[in-house]
Amino acid sequence: MKRSYWIGLLVLILAVTAISGCKPKAKDAGEIPAIEKIVPQTVEYLTITARCGWDQSTSDLVCMLQDGHQTYIGDLITNQAMHGWELNTIAHGEADVFVFQRPYSK
């Protein structure tokens, strides 16, 4: 009987200690902080999907665009650069995806 009393008391002390350790220490410790600063979008993106392959007669890389037009890869990049776009990434796969970026304009 005495032993079960001490075990019960020990369990109670441990439970109180565990629960008190979970309480927030400061007044605002349990609150979710608000977003302090929202950064506006500074860059916009353009993607062009094409199937590219080597032209055997000129050894240049030629791309077939989705609208059916063919263009050299250099012309594709140059045409976008004239509109302020900069080549960011090229993803190769079944089709090539060219990702261009430029500063965001309102």
Q: What is the pLDDT of residues 35-94, one digit of tens each?
A: 667 767 789 999 999 999 988 888 888 999 999 999 999 999 999 999 999 999 999 888
Confidence of residue 3 (pLDDT cuts 50, 70, 90): low
Give the integer Cα–Cα distance in Å for 9 and 4. 8
Of residues 82, 106, 101, the one with CA closest to residue 44: 101
Give the integer Cα–Cα distance in Å for 6 and 91. 69
What pLDDT score was predicted for residue 40?
Answer: 73
Token digits of residue 8: 């019960």
Give the integer Cα–Cα distance in Å for 37 and 48. 33
